[in-house]
Every structure is written in C-alpha cells, then in structure tokens.
Structure 1
Amino acid sequence: MLFAVTGCSDQISSKTLKTQLKRKNTPMIIDVRSLGEYQNGHIPGAIHIPFWAVILRRQQIVTSEESPAVIYCESGSRAVLAKGLLSLIGKKPVQLLDGHMLTWRRNGLPLER
C-alpha cells in the first residue's frame, strides 16, 4: 500500500544531484540509513535522520517547490518508506535519489566521512 501512496516518479539522478552540490543553494539531502552506514561515507552535505525518526524530526526537514528535499538510503527501501511518511504529513516535495548509495558509490562520486 505504501508504494501506491508514494510512487517512484519523483527521483533525481546522481549526476544531477552532483551538479546541484556545486551551487550555493543546494537541496536538503537526507541520509536515512543507520548511523554506522552514514559514518562510513555519505553524500557531501547530507544530514543523518534514520528512516524511523523522520516523523520525530520533521521540523528539521526543509523543502520547497524550488528546492525539494532529497532522500536516500543504501538501496531504496528505507528511503521510499521515509518519503511516504513525509508525504502523509504534508512534507512535500521530496525526491528520491535514483539508484541510492549503491549507484552513487558505483559511479565514483564524492563521499564525506
């Protein structure tokens, strides 16, 4: 049922996100993986909010039509869940990183530790 609510059409490619990281007004990037996964390497500028805590920490999530928040996890399942929860409480727009960390890492894109 959650997939029917959220859909998967609101995605951003790794290439597009990398380009946006170079701009002054970058989107809010949210890593919803575990703390250990986050500490082992995350997208530069990403904040850590575990998928199970997105509702509790919703006030920290800033999104607008001009700058949707970007959510990712390792392979997609936690990010889709987090996006669905945020949509249910009206936090929109939110984009999913296409391919998530698996693709980001596979493409050799920068990581922060």
Structure 2
Amino acid sequence: MNFIRDNIFLICVALYCIGALVWPYIRKGAKITNSQATKIINKGKTAIIDIRDQKQYQAGHILNAVHVPLTSLQERIQKLEKFKGQPIIIVDESGKESDKAASILKKEGFSQINILKGGMTGWVGEGLPVTK
C-alpha cells in the first residue's frame, strides 16, 4: 500500500501510456499490412468489405470482396450481419477512409475489424491479385 501511495504519479503515467497504446485498437480496427491481410484471408472465413465507390470497385477489387460504399454503409449494415463473428478486413482506395467504416461497424457490434494499410493502392502496388 505504501508503494502505491508513494508512486501514484508513476502509476498514473504508466496507465495513461498503456491506454494511449490500446485506444486506437479499441476505438477502430487494427491496421494490418498486405501480408497480414493475406494470412488472415488464407485462414478462411474472412469478410473483405470494399467501401470504395462503384467505379473504383469495378476497376478492380480483392477476390470475394463485398462492395458496400462508405456513403451507404449505415443503411446497408443488415447485408453484413452474417459476418459479425468473423474477421473483417475493410478496404478503401488509400487507407484514409476505413477508420470511418470501422467506427460504424464497431458501433453495430462487429468486433474483429481490421483495416488494410494503404488500401487498394498499396495492394495493387505490391502486385497482389485483383479481380473485376
């Protein structure tokens, strides 16, 4: 008990640092690299949600990606209910819009949310496969 009282400031700083490191993962989804995404996809039963607009999606997307544009994600959340217990990978064009989608999904009870770093630009840039 004396230790806690004597070091309360250091304990508070340590708890704050731990919270700051964990908060992005709690609030949104984990940002994963292309190789991490590939490993998750290869394990099976992974939902890939492409939030880009129709034109971008038709130009090329990851195999088996479900197209739900960010602008209509909230209205079409029922379409994704079947994926609630699975790992989800959110894909956008450059990795900048996925946080919004992750927040929406988190509020709706989805828990295993991952965000593809660099989006489709990074995916294609590494020469990974896309389908039309």
Q: Give the alignment's TM-score, normalised by structure 1.
A: 0.81
Q: How does 1:34-113 map to 2 (within 5 A)?
A: 34-61=53-80, 62-64=83-85, 67-113=86-132
The answer on 1:11 being equivalent to 2:31 is yes
* Alpha-carbon offset, residue 45 of structure 1: 0.9
Name stretches of at least 5 consecutive residues in structure 2 with no aligned partner.
1-23
Stretches of 4+ aligned residues off by more than 6 angstroms: none
Question: What is the rounded CA distance, in whole Å, between the counterparts of 1:103 and 1:111 in structure 2?
Answer: 12
Contact 1:28 1:63 (C-alpha < 8 Å) held by counterparts:
no
What are the Cα deviations for residues 39-97 of structure 1, in whole angstroms up to 9, with x where unaligned? 00001110100012221111222132xx3111010112221111111112222221101
Larger Rg: 2
Do the aligned partners of 2:102 and 2:113 also contact (CA within 8 Å) in 1? Answer: yes
Which of structures 1 and 2 has the larger relative contact order (alpha carbons within 8 angstroms, sep 6+)?
A: 1
| Matched residue SS, 1:102 | helix
The answer as to whether partners of 2:45 and 2:87 remain within 8 angstroms in 1 is no
RMSD (Å), alpha carbons: 2.1
The structure with the largest helix share of the pair is: 2
- The secondary structure found in structure 2 opposite 1:77 is coil
Q: Share of identical aligned residues, percent? A: 28
Count of paired positions: 107
Contact 1:32 1:71 in 2 (8 A): yes
1:28 matched residue in structure 2: 47
